[in-house]
Structure 1
């Protein structure tokens, strides 16, 4: 169901909104995947010897970005979506330039951490904007389309980063990101209307913020989906953190890393587009519940292959591609179901849910990445554990029943709590 645009607001079409939201989220994603091919160069130039330590360039950004998601939602509920987005884009651009100028690994990590913390609005506010304008399976459809555009970034980002390295140093990756953020800022300034309904404005008051966030997290219908998403994304972050070592060292395909990494991620584009076509017909719950069950089966295959065919990329690749394809049927649908009850506090709900999704996923991904032991065993086992736990959490939210299709909006004031 589409909701009305606030009176006197600038008009932005659905398609343009999708691409604008996807661009903002993609800028954040580029900060993760775009420098993966450059990690070796960065480590050599900044005198990092420990192989797993270079993962911190990604992990620190993810962890601080997860923490940062607690901040922008409350401000967006009070002052609107536009000013928070413009601040996040501006600070992202400035700190990208700062990272490009560092000559010390510790300083780089500090700046990356601050950048993740202060630019977290790029992953929080887009969900609030979509929730302002849409609800139910229509929201899930829009999130799937945004996800398809957004997921294109991990597919092309390593190749784009590799292309930059052919003509310039790794520092230019961050300078290009700064320029891209400035382009997005101009687009937001010129075209994006304020989507926050004046009647839904909240006060900057600690008890109010705490109450809204508590409601948004502890509503039973949502919490299982939020934590389940955290575990599933965490498993993927574990793949991102260790992908260069896993593909380059364990499977011996370092020169093919951008192709292998991008090829597996490309399956998420296809599945997200398919999800956007079927979710309104079958419902977000039916599609995502089927997806998580299949994810568990494929993860069982990953565990078997890691023991029966170690070091053989030809076995690992199709299973990894299938795992990521199934994630395209899970992320947007889980997020839509989790956000559905919170029309009047969408900013706070987006913040607290993004915190548990992103910070929780970053922690899970960090542990999985650091558990890399020269084989695919830890990663395969992590996929299985995370997917089984995600199913149990969904069962908790659904009171033990899968595949239901609910009709009509569910409002926070009437939602059941833990």
Structure 2
């Protein structure tokens, strides 16, 4: 165990995957990985000439994943799809964790000195919308450009195929081999309803605007109490770790962004942040941290947070105990996968801010909770914070 320290040793997550035999290659009769109309054994069109303008042709090979590996974390009414460009194995550690053996084999068979992989997810209205076709792929200004569209398994089937009406998310990978490998992604994706939009590797898998909850109330707090004083002489206050915080948005070590923090009031379903963030005694609330990026983000253990009240002496932790040497936290790296949400639940009482948290056996709130503005700061990441007003 280590005493509370700033995070000095959290680094990006590498990836390990079990070796697997080569599988998932395009077979005769499969969708053409490049155009959907047949191609050479590498899935390309056999033509290395320029596609026109500054776009250079590439060799391609497609692997249909079938389902969406993100879960899906994104919502079909927010976007037509999502994707990322995998230029080295470490870009896709979460995909290794979620993929089946054939997909892992396809990734393992990729020589990233010669090729990259574009992974695309989209969605359609029927259970047959489980394929994604790629077309007109090429490299322009170090960017992989082209089109991807949802396709139905019924299109190439012999005889009648029953397609149920159900929103269906699908995913596919295309291995791209070129003399000059792309470093970025810009594809036009069309979903099963015929809606199209452009995606890039920077899109992430969640739209921050679609997340539940709010970040902090508007304006200054209505009440600012005096400095907190505990009548128990044995009480030692938990230190406040962060000075400057990132309100609602930030990253972790090696990431400037990708994590979103929100406070959710389950008793309120409106869109007024000030009303949602106004809590009374006994109210339940939760704090949610979501990885909206398209890659894993490493954070410290989930107990690394503070709960503070804004007083005349600044932000002050409301929790403490009889032995400050016990305020210790393991120094570890916890992977947060794309679309994953970490949740902390509380009740706005003295005991309700302690139960289920770190060191609950020897932490307590002192003095009793006072009206004012409170903040939750997760210092296991890049000092992410949300705030709310407690009215007693």
Q: TM-score range with shorter-chain normalisation?
A: under 0.3
The answer to which structure has the higher strand fraction is 2
- Greater Rg by CA: 2
TM-score (norm 1): 0.21
